[in-house]
A and B are shown apart, each in its own frame.
Chain A
């Protein structure tokens, strides 16, 4: 098993390197760090800045210098906040992780319950309802759902309750004067809900089909024929195997979330990775863009690897 994990890890290293080359080439060809000096009165400023940043070197040399610094943890400095990019990203990452953890926990439970129910009671009225709901959930754009949530669960709900403050806030992570856990969740509820719609819709469909697969297997029929109670067959014999595909799908999806919450964080002003990225682009803070992309790509690669390893651990037949 250990050898398997090590081998997969080793394969991932060149993947990360190639990805970093591609992203470096892409970002340096499509962003211009000197753009903010264009309007300067000093005509030599742009040229001096290009020289200072090494932009006149061949691309290969630039990549080599950049990669060397990056590995040493020197990711440059934000043009806007003047803080180290690594500090900015680390701070944003912590906030994004909080959203991800709570959403994933919630979605996992809901998706498994819905998926198992739909499979065990296939073609029941509730199964059709869940199917339709998941289609709707996958079809509503994140930004539309988020705005609807703000409208109904912040403003309308407050009016309906007759409160001064809304039950759920739609901006930021904390109130200025209140750092309690309750306050955190009043802020986090809507982003988590928004994030959960698509995850639950996708995962519950997956869980349903995995469960249907397993329920049709011979060993399940054998267990039933031997008189094992239906409940026990479903939860003990079938569910355990039916969780394997979902686990790997979840790992892959979670990896994509680290850089994938752009819309959600933008709308709810959640100071995470997505917000950091949009702000950087809007303000022309190109120093943040490349490290941001490398980090999110690394998360995607890492969680893909995790999915692979989990699959091998959970289902020994897969191991090569």
Chain B
């Protein structure tokens, strides 16, 4: 089976070769200092060491990240979205579920920034509060699936033998299962039921199911890195000095996987938000009075083609903006962690 590396960029990373012709063209195009930095990030890094201060790993990373302007912008956008979700009551004085039947379907105005919906509810407040659910699901799914993926991946990579075969075959299985369909069936049938005595809210259920579906990429990534690291001298040294397997994995190997792990965790936030919003859009996700961005788009679906279509624009734009920011952030983090990769 051909397993596709999720990101096309990494394919290019290996080459890193700029043809002399392209180089000439670039220099002719623009003789600014930027071009030189683009060609070889290490030039700038080395030059900095020359002024006397040694650069720590963290400072090198930060320097490379800050150079990626879109990623920095993405980080700012994400922070704003996150803060507005956290402090929703301070951002808007309107209640997201309070109906105002004298103010139905008002177009965006000074009082209602995003207008009001068919029950007179303030759309801005609804989008901000929906962000709480959407972002919560995105971040928790990302954390949970990272945890599962890290455990499975590091065990498979480090222990090897039949354990590895078994775990990796299980991971493969997730590739051939139609994900969204499984998600719909599971959500549709476990909704409102109690599992192990826990009363599952619709968002808790979504978090659990999404995490169970999305850990496999992380497992694959971590296994790959662990495989390449476990024969290294520092691991052998740790083993020789009597460190346990668990300690070697947690203290010596995983810190060295930090780059791919952080990048993948970031991207999973986007995938989880996208899947959850799709699920809610189809009517299988969160249920009222809880709202997520996908639910809001679904709620306003009938306004497509009418002058009330603004009800679709705002929640839809919120999802798109979040996903765009997450993707750019992931891109910037990848470049920052791995200076040899570039476009």
Chain A interfacial positions (CB closer than 8 Å to B): 15, 18-19, 22-23, 26-27, 30-32, 122-123, 131, 135-136, 138-144, 147-148, 150-151, 154-156, 170, 202, 205-206, 208-210, 212-213, 215-216, 220-221, 224, 245, 248-249, 252, 256, 259-260, 262-263, 266, 277-278, 281-282, 289, 292-293, 296-297, 300-301, 304-305, 307-308, 311
B326–chain A nearest beta-carbon distance, Å: 8
B260–chain A nearest beta-carbon distance, Å: 18
Whole-angstrom distance between the alpha carbons of A202 and B8 in the complex? 8
Known contacts A123-B38, A147-B316, A151-B312; can you find 7 more A-B pairs with CB under 8 A? A22-B173, A135-B328, A143-B297, A147-B297, A210-B11, A278-B282, A300-B175
User: CB < 8 Å: which of A32, A154, A216, A281 contacts B18?
Assistant: A216
Check B228 for interface membership: any CB of A closer than 8 A. Answer: no
Per-position binary interface string of chain B over residues 3-33, scored 1 when its CB falls under 8 Å from any chain A CB and 0 otherwise: 0100011011011011111100010010000
- With A19-B177, A266-B282, A281-B188 as contacts: A139 and B8 at CB distance below 8 Å: no
- Nearest residue (CB) in B for A248 is B2
Instruction: Tell whether, in the assembled complex, residue A259 and residue B2 are in contact, meaning their CB atoms are under 8 Å apart.
Output: no
- Nearest residue (CB) in B for A204 is B8
A167–chain B nearest beta-carbon distance, Å: 13
A292–chain B nearest beta-carbon distance, Å: 7
Contact partners of A305 in chain B: CB under 8 A:
1
Whole-angstrom distance between the alpha carbons of A203 and B182 in the complex? 26
Residues facing A in B119-135 (CB within 8 A) are: none
Q: Is the interface of A mostly helix, strand, loop or mixed?
A: helix
- Nearest residue (CB) in A for B280 is A143
- Nearest residue (CB) in B for A158 is B305
Whole-angstrom distance between the alpha carbons of A148 and B176 in the complex? 31
Whole-angstrom distance between the alpha carbons of A13 and B274 in the complex? 33
**17 A-B contact pairs sorted by A residue (CB < 8 Å):** A18-B173, A26-B185, A123-B29, A135-B331, A141-B316, A150-B304, A170-B305, A208-B8, A209-B12, A210-B8, A216-B18, A216-B19, A245-B11, A281-B184, A281-B188, A293-B182, A296-B181
B327–chain A nearest beta-carbon distance, Å: 6
User: CB < 8 Å: which of A122, A150, A289, A308 contacts B305?
Assistant: A150
Contact partners of A150 in chain B: CB under 8 A:
304-305
